[in-house]
Chains A and B, each alone.
Chain A
Amino acid sequence: MNGFRTLLGWALVGAVAGTLALAGADVFVARAADPIKIGLGMALTGGLSANGKPALMAIQIWKDDVNKKGGLLGRPVELIAYDDQTNPATVPGIYTKLLEVDKVDFVVSGYGTNLIAPLMPIAMERKLTIMGILGLANNEKYKYPSYFQIQPSGPDPEANWATGFFEIAARQNPKPQTIALVGADAEYPRHAIAGARELVKKFGFKTVYDKSYPPSTVDYTPIARAIKAVSPDIVFVASYPPDSVGMVRASAEIGLQPKIFGGGMVGLQFTTVMTSLGPMLNGIVNYDFWAPESTMMFPGIKEFFAEYQKRAKEAGVDPLGYYLPPYAYSAVQILGLAIEGGKSLDQQKVADYIRSNEFSTIVGKVRFGPNGEWAKSRVLQVQYQGIKGTDVEQFRVPGKKVVLYPEEFKSGTVIYPYSAAQK
């Protein structure tokens, strides 16, 4: 009887221990399968939504790619995104909710300088690692060590932004002498124009026009005409998409023909704008981040565009997606590589890993400098050449957006002056 009781006792202990062990394993399995949450606000409506939606789509493609390969640290990745309505006032609320309610592990910025700016104090207060998606000089005042910007502006973002444009201009023979600077009264154009003013001094040009305009301007003809009246050799424009279109059209209509035209016009990279302006683009030298030239074919980029262009058709966003989407993808790609490389979800460890390593991404090799910008600038200057009509297919092949700068990615030579490219 005693033997039976002892046996029963051991069986009971074994059952309890087994149950506890299984329960523990369950807990362990559940934790391992808990997703790593990445949160962000993104401009899905409002003025910057034409870029915000494709950016979010690119980040979703990365999430799907990563999850297909088993996730990060063996855990799936979950994205939580809210619409910031292109309104900086919504940013603090969105990120507080992401951190306090959704309990995300990491945050990524929204798109654009204005939407990154209100995130900076939150990130600094909570010591977050921040991947910035296309902001110009957001960290110049803060010098926050855990901020990383995927836009390839380089260590001195304001000046580096237009360096290529000015170098190309200064190299021409005879060297152009006078310059007109014009830009919108908004965050990005102000930075770009400030950098351009420094470069004007550096390259010894003479400024004959330096004015800004309100972003809601409807007609750009008077501005183009005022610039034409002072006959500058160079016209540097820092503008957002509607003003870029307005300036290009107005310049074509009134016959503004400097020797070199362009520089910092946002929007000319968008497919709908390119196909609408068509031959009016010929000769413009403008910044860009990617072009379908042989020098820009980094590993993984073709596969990314194949998937992006498939999804873009259904979503009604930029059908080619050459401008922002690969960079938005690369921003989270770097975050993922750092989590895997550092084998940690600790904000500080991930930031340290990003700061001290070079990453192979779909936009090429990326290394960050002390201020969180690319260690070496890679803002391209491209020239639109030989564009005929408004067919979108022509923009898929090399030779239409020829890379002129930097030298290592150069894919053709500049047609100078501007008027020669329009023939």
Chain B
Amino acid sequence: MFTWDLLANAVVAGILLGGFYAAVSLGVSLTFGLLDVVNIAHPAFVILGAYAAYVMNSSFGLDPILTGVLFTPLFYALGAGVYRIYYSSFERRGEESLRGLVFFFGLLFIIEVALSLKYGVDYRLVEAAYIGKSIDLGGVGIAFRLLVPCVVGLLMTLALSLFLSRTFYGRAVMGVSQDQVALRLMGANPVRIKTIAFGIGIAAASLSGALLITISPVVPSTDRDYIGRVFAITVLGGLGSVGGTLVASIILGVAESLMATLFGPSWSLAVSFGILLLALAVRPAGLFGR
């Protein structure tokens, strides 16, 4: 059944979902898109962030998203540490392509198993005043559970975009992705720059984990649902393009939502990945890739 009301609601729901997808994918856009590090463990850090939000919420009643923000320095440090290990063990020796991939796969499983051992395997959810509530704007219903993560996702995109374009370190990160030798000649240490960028990527992952647990329940193995999705969004948007990641996220979110509302949800993922294949056939570098 088609109505304009249904269409408007589907588009809005898709945009909200896209904002959340952008938050989850930003870190991959940074680490994979700009640094060429295939951090397959990214979704595991998302889940780690979700568990941090859960623990603070269930123990101290702290808002999950506030927890996500407060924990970003900690995850930044964790990310920087992981990159240092990766660099000294693989990248420096030029063995990053396959062995590095195995390293991140291993990391993904270690995080998953560590979470299982520490917190068990029960579904974890958080409580917040805005979960379960919605507002109606001219017939378009907006659930706060999705609106809040979308707004945070948009803010994260804006912040990362400003960081990359307006700050010295941001420009250095862009530089590292283009020409490391030239960057070295300018007096910047590419390893240090990459450490900072990787740390930011993991901090973004942890914050998006807090958004995830606001939307749906989480178990340690939830990360597996996101591996394909985040890399697809990054590739569709164009490697290293933060704006492109947001656009790709919204395209996939709206496509999923429209399919689910108007034609049947079973096709939603197939259509999303169909869009990815089609876009890559036309623009192999992605929508905003160089």
Interface residues of A (CB under 8 A from B): 44-47, 49-50, 52-53, 86, 185, 211-214, 216-219, 221-223, 225-226, 229-230, 241-242, 245-246, 249-250, 252-255, 267, 270-273, 276, 280, 315-318, 390
Partner of B127, one of A49, A219, A245, A276: A276
Q: Find out whether the CB atom of A45 lies under 8 angstroms from the CB atom of B260.
A: no
Q: Find out whether the CB atom of B141 lies under 8 angstroms from the CB atom of A254.
A: yes
**Closest chain A residue, CB of each to CB of B6:** A229
CA distance A53 to B146 in the complex (A): 32
Residues of A within 8 A of B113 (CB): 45
Residues of A within 8 A of B260 (CB): 213, 217, 222-223, 226
Q: Find out whether the CB atom of B123 lies under 8 angstroms from the CB atom of A213.
A: no
Given A276-B125, A276-B217, 16 further pairs, Cβ under 8 A: A44-B116, A45-B116, A45-B121, A47-B221, A53-B120, A217-B265, A219-B16, A219-B256, A225-B141, A226-B262, A242-B217, A242-B222, A245-B216, A246-B216, A249-B145, A270-B123
Q: With A249-B131, A253-B132 in contact, is A222–B10 under 8 Å at CB?
A: yes
- Smallest CB-CB A-B distances: 6 pairs: A316-B120, A213-B265, A49-B121, A276-B125, A222-B260, A222-B261
Q: With A213-B268, A216-B269 in contact, is A221–B125 under 8 Å at CB?
A: no
Name the interface residues of B246-279: CB closer than 8 Å to any CB of A.
256-258, 260-262, 264-266, 268-269
Task: Give a binary string over B1-24; 1 marks a CB under 8 Å from any A CB, 0 the rest.
Answer: 101001001100110110010000
Q: Find out whether the CB atom of B265 lies under 8 angstroms from the CB atom of A211.
A: yes
Interface centre among A214, A270, A280, A390 (most CB of B within 10 A): A214
Q: 19 A-B contacts, Cβ less than 8 Å apart?
A: A53-B120, A211-B266, A213-B266, A214-B268, A217-B265, A219-B13, A219-B256, A221-B13, A222-B9, A222-B13, A222-B260, A223-B265, A225-B13, A276-B125, A276-B217, A316-B119, A317-B121, A317-B122, A390-B127
B166 within 8 A of A: no
Q: Find out whether the CB atom of B6 lies under 8 angstroms from the CB atom of A218.
A: no
**Closest chain B residue, CB of each to CB of A212:** B266
Q: Find out whether the CB atom of B266 lies under 8 angstroms from the CB atom of A185.
A: yes
Residues of B within 8 A of A229 (CB): 1, 3, 6
Residues of B within 8 A of A86 (CB): 221
B215 within 8 A of A: yes
Q: Find out whether the CB atom of A49 lies under 8 angstroms from the CB atom of B219.
A: yes
Q: Find out whether the CB atom of A222 lies under 8 angstroms from the CB atom of B219.
A: no
> Taking the nearest CB of chain A, how far is it from the CB of B137, in angstroms?
13
Interface centre among B17, B112, B125, B258 (most CB of A within 10 A): B125
CA distance A53 to B217 in the complex (A): 18
Q: Find out whether the CB atom of B122 lies under 8 angstroms from the CB atom of A272.
A: yes
CA distance A210 to B278 in the complex (A): 29
Name the interface residues of B116-159: CB closer than 8 Å to any CB of A.
116, 118-127, 131-134, 141, 143, 145-146
Residues of A within 8 A of B116 (CB): 44-45, 49
Interface centre among A221, A242, A254 (most CB of B within 10 A): A221
Residues of A within 8 A of B124 (CB): 272
Q: Find out whether the CB atom of A272 lies under 8 angstroms from the CB atom of B10.
A: no
Residues of A within 8 A of B220 (CB): 45, 49
CA distance A316 to B121 in the complex (A): 8
Residues of A within 8 A of B3 (CB): 229
CA distance A294 to B277 in the complex (A): 58
Name the interface residues of B204-261: CB closer than 8 Å to any CB of A.
215-217, 219-222, 225, 229, 256-258, 260-261
